[in-house]
């Protein structure tokens, strides 16, 4: 959190959870290109804006606000992801 780059994605946007729009997710860009719009069942609409060391293959990482109780429900979760465009 003290890092100036904290919360900034690989695409340069600020990571966000937007219940009424598109939230940030991290993807493996070899599987889902950055900028791809997705629908994640139970999470909502998202856009692939980030990458991560543990995000490989068909694993995605959903963004939650720090301290969010929502994170606890999703810590390890299998769901369906739809690629919109």
In tens, the pLDDT along 43-70 reads 999 999 999 888 999 999 999 888 888 8
pLDDT at residue 79 tops 60: yes
**DSSP output for 12-47:** SPBP---TTSPEEEE--TTTS-TT-EEEETTTEEEE
Mean pLDDT of the chain: 89
Q: What is the pLDDT of residue 5?
A: 56
Domain chopping of the chain, boundaries = 23-83
pLDDT at residue 71 tops 70: yes
Tell which wins on pLDDT, 5 or 78: 78
CA 45 distance to own-chain centroid: 10
Bin 56: left if φ > 0, else alpha if -120 < ψ < 50, else beta. Answer: beta
């Amino acid at each position: 959190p003290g890092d100036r780059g904290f919360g900034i994605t690989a695409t340069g946007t600020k990571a966000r959870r937007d219940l009424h729009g598109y939230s940030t997710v991290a993807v493996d860009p070899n599987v889902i290109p950055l900028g791809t719009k997705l629908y994640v069942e139970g999470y909502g609409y998202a856009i692939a804006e980030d990458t991560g060391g543990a995000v490989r293959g068909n694993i995605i990482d959903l963004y939650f606000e720090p301290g969010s109780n929502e994170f606890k429900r999703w810590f390890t979760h299998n769901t369906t992801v739809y690629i919109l465009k």
